A and B are shown apart, each in its own frame.
Chain A
Amino acid sequence: MTAGGELLTRESPAGAFQRRWRELAAAPGALRPVSVAIAASFTVDTLLPYLGCLLAQRGLFARFTVAPFGQIYQSLLDADSELRAARADVTLVLARLEDLCARPLGELALLDPVRVGEARADALAEVDRLCGALAAFEAATPGTLLVGTLPAPPNPPLGVLDASHPASLVQLTRECNALLWNAAQKRRRLRLVDVDQVAAELGTARAWDPRMAVVAGCPWSAAGLRYLAAHLSRAIAALILPAAKVVVLDLDNTLWGGIIGEDGPGGIAIGPSGLGAAFDGFQGALLALRAQGVLLAVASKNNEADAFEVFDHHPGMRIRREHLAAHRISWQPKSASLRELADELSLGVDSFVFVDDSPTECAEVASVLPEVTVVQLPPDPARYVEVLRAVPQLDRMALTDEDRMRAASYAAEKARTAARAAAEGDPDALRAHLRSLELVVRVRRIGDGDVARTAQLTQKTNQFNLTTVRRSEADIEAMRRDPAWRLYALDVTDRFGDYGTTGLVFARRIDDTTWDLDTVLLSCRVLGRGVESALLRVVTADLIDAGARRLTARMIPTRKNAPVREFLPRHGFAAAAGDGPGEAFVKQPLPGAAFDDDHIAAHLDLGASR
């Protein structure tokens, strides 16, 4: 991949990782740097070559900072600690119950019926204290805090009795992990990584090595370290890299067993029983991805009518026509179909995962479109789900409301496109079409629940973006606390559905009567409907209430933001003198002439925030 040589996996030998990591450290090449700070209750140096190599295979070069082991609290809480000073993109905290709660666990082991309850409470209080330190760190630093769940201690002293005894260590670990989970529900930049599950997946007997604990101060076996690194690398990469947006599916022997053109609807395997159950399970896994915001599309060599006979009428199908964001069912090469699907969905093929059982089709797509993630299914359909779940490009570490709504909004967009096409070329019909959309624009101040989406919009919006200033979640939070800023979000709905939060204006008070429009952006999904005019109208009115008598703004041209170039002149802004990047504009007096947006019901909703 990005680093030379064979692909390293969690099964590769230690020496191969050591050699590769030395080569990478000497010459990271074009890899994207990512800073990773680690605090652990045991020695983690041995983990770094594995984690570094696996991240490099995702195009990331990890620069590690390792806090002295056993100093998790000091590292999290002391403002001058190495961990805090690192201000890393990702800060990883790995602890074990045995290290964190050594004293209460010692008490627990005595099995004194009176003290067992106290010792459990002490251990839970200790983990609660850890949660407090994690929250304090999250609030004080800009990156993401990635916290390992506590692995269940191997070989508990009570042995087979542990499962049912009040002093159960495994049960105590579960309760401690529930506290961590609660903490993660309240904090967006505190994410968990299920270290306990990693150990379970490998098997307790293989994951831990008592000799390593003695020789290396690290309880993990060499195999355990590789599994841990593999899991951590997926979590870290998912925090840094954009997730794939579309899964493009073959049909015959992918979504169902058999070949529809030969076997007919009665002859294919799909449904709850027999071999069809394997495909039923795979379709369920794909619908679960769709619920997370991944679009499903089809690229198949078939007769379209045969294929849709199955989607529309076969009783065993779980994926139906309405679940597909787009399809190409024809006899052209699949690479050509993928290109067309990318155009239709306005997405790059680099956000595509292509899934097919045929080695020939997979090879064709991989050679023509190397940016596509190609997943060749194994011969046994019962294994399809695990192969799909192993695709790291589909990993996400957070779900926004937009993600959850994405599939539905693409379906609505298909209906809109059809309605718009009917009005093409006739200005009166187009006007009537816009009116018929029943657009509603709601402008509101950005709330707690908006921070992730807001940062994402500043990061991803390229076309209708006045200044293209990218901002992190921490930037947005700092601006929200600063009274000089007013941050507005825009929600758009029409009769076909909800577009969600698709626009932003960040205004900054310059003096008593002047506000600067630092950021104006709209997602391309809502362009061409006059929404930008309605947004500006509502924001201007609110700023006038705040004392504004003049607005300033600047337009910084980029290769991609042609759609925003005329925005300021068209809305009554005049070119102004000014230094700094781009072209300066000013508008005075306010509000100025009315805009051509009376087909939109727009309002400021001060009560609403997420």
Chain B
Amino acid sequence: MNDGLQERLAALLADVTGAPLASLGPDAAPGITPGWDSVATLALINAVEDEFGIAINTADSLTIKSLGDMARLVAARTGAK
């Protein structure tokens, strides 16, 4: 299940950054992954909110330093539901 989550998030990140999907592992991060700037961070948050039906507040969004962080946040929210 966790593998599936990582893949779905990577696909969303590829959409908002334009980065090649294959290059996006859990360690993909703003400032390192091409195209992942702060606009992409917010676009990713919007996309994740739509895709998983959860709300991510700004305080949480500031803690996201990698795609792995995002996966942990989403897993915690969707698991808690």
Chain A residues close to B by CB (< 8 Å): 13-20, 22, 43, 45-46, 49, 209, 211-212, 214-218, 222, 225
Decide if B38 is an interface residue (CB 8 Å cutoff): yes
User: Across the two chains, which residue of chain A brings its CB closest to B20?
Assistant: A19
A211 and B58 form a contact (CB under 8 A): yes
The verdict on A15 contacting B18 (CB below 8 Å), with A22-B34, A215-B58 known, is yes
Chain B residues near A20 (CB-CB < 8 A): 18
Contact B38 A218 (CB under 8 A): yes
Once A14-B43, A211-B61 are accepted as A-B contacts, the answer to whether A216 and B38 lie under 8 Å apart by CB is: yes
Question: Contact at A13–B15, with CB atoms within 8 Å?
Answer: yes
Q: Which of B18, B41, B58 contacts A17 (CB 8 A)?
A: B18
A15 near B17 with CB under 8 A, answer: yes
Contact call B34/A14, Cβ cutoff below 8 A: no
| Cα distance A543–B37 in the bound complex, in angstroms | 62
Chain B positions within 8 Å of A225 at CB level: 39
By beta carbon, the residue of chain A nearest B35 is A18
Nearest chain A residue, comparing its CB with the CB of B18: A19
Q: Tell me if B38 and A16 are in contact (CB < 8 A).
A: no
Residues of A within 8 A of B37 (CB): 45-46, 216
Question: Within the assembled complex, what's the spacing in Å between the Cα atoms of A222 and B15?
Answer: 14
Considering only residues 3-29 of chain B, those with a C-beta below 8 Å from chain A are 14-19
Across-interface contacts of A212 in B (CB, < 8 A): 38-39, 42
> Do A222 and B42 touch (CB < 8 A)?
yes
Q: Which residue on chain B has the smallest CB distance to residue A23? A: B18
Residue numbers in A under 8 Å from B35 (CB-CB): 15, 18-19, 22, 49
Chain B contacts for A222, CB-based, 8 A: 39, 42-43
Total interface residues on B, CB under 8 Å, equals 19
Contacts beyond the supplied A209-B42, A222-B43: 17 A-B pairs with Cβ under 8 Å: A13-B16, A14-B16, A14-B39, A15-B17, A15-B35, A19-B19, A22-B34, A45-B37, A46-B37, A212-B42, A214-B62, A215-B38, A215-B58, A215-B62, A216-B37, A216-B42, A225-B39
Residues of A contacting B45 with CB < 8 Å? Answer: 211
Looking at the assembled complex, report how far the CB atom of A511 sits from the nearest CB atom of chain B, in whole angstroms: 60
* B75 interfacial contact with A, CB 8 Å: no
Q: Which of A16, A45, A215, A222 has its CB near the most chain B CB atoms (within 10 A)?
A: A215
Q: Quick one: closest A residue to B64, CB to CB?
A: A215
**A46–B18 touching, CB < 8 Å:** no
28 pairs, A vs B, C-beta closer than 8 Å: A13-B15, A13-B16, A14-B16, A14-B40, A14-B43, A15-B14, A15-B16, A15-B17, A15-B18, A18-B17, A18-B18, A18-B34, A18-B35, A19-B18, A19-B35, A22-B18, A45-B37, A46-B39, A209-B42, A211-B45, A212-B38, A212-B39, A215-B41, A215-B61, A216-B42, A218-B38, A222-B42, A225-B39
B64 smallest CB distance to A (angstroms)? 10
Residue numbers in B under 8 Å from A19 (CB-CB): 18-19, 35
Using Cβ atoms and an 8 Å threshold, which residues of chain B touch A217? 38
CB distance from A94 to the nearest CB of B (A): 16
Contact across chains for A16 and B18 when beta carbons are under 8 A apart: yes
CA distance A222 to B16 in the complex (A): 11
Q: Which residues of B contact A46 (CB under 8 A)?
A: 37-39
Cβ A15 vs Cβ B42 within 8 A: no
Q: How far is the CB of A293 from chain B (nearest CB, A)?
A: 39
